[in-house]
Amino acid sequence: METTSRKTLRWQLATVLEVRDEAPKVRTFRLGLDGPATHLPGQYYVLRLTAEDGYTAQRSYSVASAPHGRPEIELTVERLDDGEVSEFLHDVVVPGDVLEVRGPVGGWFAWDGAGPALLVGGGSGQVPLAAMLRHARALGRPELVRMVLSVRTPRGLYYGDELRGPEVHPVFTKVAPEGSRRPAGRLRLDDVAPLVRGGETAFVCGSPAFADAAAALLTEAGLPPAAIRIEQFGPTGA
C-alpha cells in the first residue's frame, strides 16, 4: 500500500486555529490546511520551524484527528524537557501563528478502517490511536476497534471523555481511579488477552520499552508477529 504521494510532500503553510491542553505538559494544536485532510488514521505530519538566520528544525507528529473532509488537522504534542521544537510549540505558539507542515506521511502504521484493529497505546502513544478510534466511530463501525491505553494516572488520558466507552480499556500504572477493580500496575497479559479475537491487526504505539513489552504480551496472547505494527518514539538508553 502506498499512501504517501508526492503531492503530500510539499511544504504548506498552516495557520494555528486553536491550542488546547490535554494533560499535564500535553497540548493539541488545531491547524488550518489549504485542502481537506486526507490522511489515514496513524499517519503523521512533519512540522518545520525556521529562524531568521535560516536555521530550521523539523519534527514529525502523529495526527490525532480523523480524516473528516475539513481543511484542518489536530496534532498533539508532549512538551519534552529540552525539546527544541516541543518547547517552542508549548511556550510560544498561539492561535493565528503560521507554521510549515507537510504530509500526511507513512503508510505502515496506518489503519484504513477496513478490518478489525487492536490498538495498544502508552503515554503519548494515545495520539495516532485516537485518530483510529475517532475514524471507526465516524464510520459507524466502533466494533472494529478495541483499545488498551496505559497511562500513569487518570489525568494522563487525553481528549476529555473521548477515550472512554465500550471500545476503550484504560490501564493505570501508578494511580487507579477510585473504585477501580484493577489495581494500579503495568500492562499485563490479562489486560490484553481477552481482547484478542483472531484476525485483527494490532497497532502498538508508545515508548520503545512500552512497545517492546506490549508486543511481547500480544505475541503471548496469540497474535502472530506479522499482525503487529509498532510505532515507537522517544529516547532510550542503550
Partner 1 sequence: MPPVTRGFVGRRKRDPRLPPGQYDVGDQWPVLTAEPAPNLDTARWTFRIDGLVDHSVEWNWDEIRALPRERWDGDIHCVTTWTKFGMTWDGIPLDALLEAAGPLPEARYVVAHSHTGYTTNLPLADITGGRAWLAFAAASAPERPAPLTREHGGPARLLVPHLYFWKSAKWVAGLRLLADDDPGFWERNGYHDRGDPWAEQRFQGD
CA distance 52 to 29: 23
Scan residues 64-93 and list those touching partner 1 (CB under 8 A). Answer: 84, 88, 92-93
Stretch that binds partner 1, among 32-40, 49-57, 62-70, 129-137 (CB under 8 A): 49-57
Number of Cα atoms under 13 Å in the Cβ half of residue 55:
5
Minimum distance from residue 190 beta carbon to partner 1 (Å): 20
CA angle 122, 41, 71 (to 5 degrees): 125
Minimum distance from residue 140 beta carbon to partner 1 (Å): 29
Position 34 contacts partner 1 (CB under 8 A)? no
Query: Which is closer to partner 1, CB of 8 or CB of 173?
Result: 8
CA distance 63 to 103: 10
Q: Which three cell numbers stand for residue 194?
A: 481477552
- CA distance readout (Å), 101 to 14, 69, 156, 203: 7, 18, 27, 25
Scan residues 193-212 and list those touching partner 1 (CB under 8 A). Answer: 208, 212
> What residues make contact with partner 1 under the rule CB under 8 A?
2-4, 6, 8-11, 13, 46, 48-52, 54-60, 84, 88, 92-93, 97-100, 102, 105-109, 208, 212, 215-216, 219, 225-226, 228-238
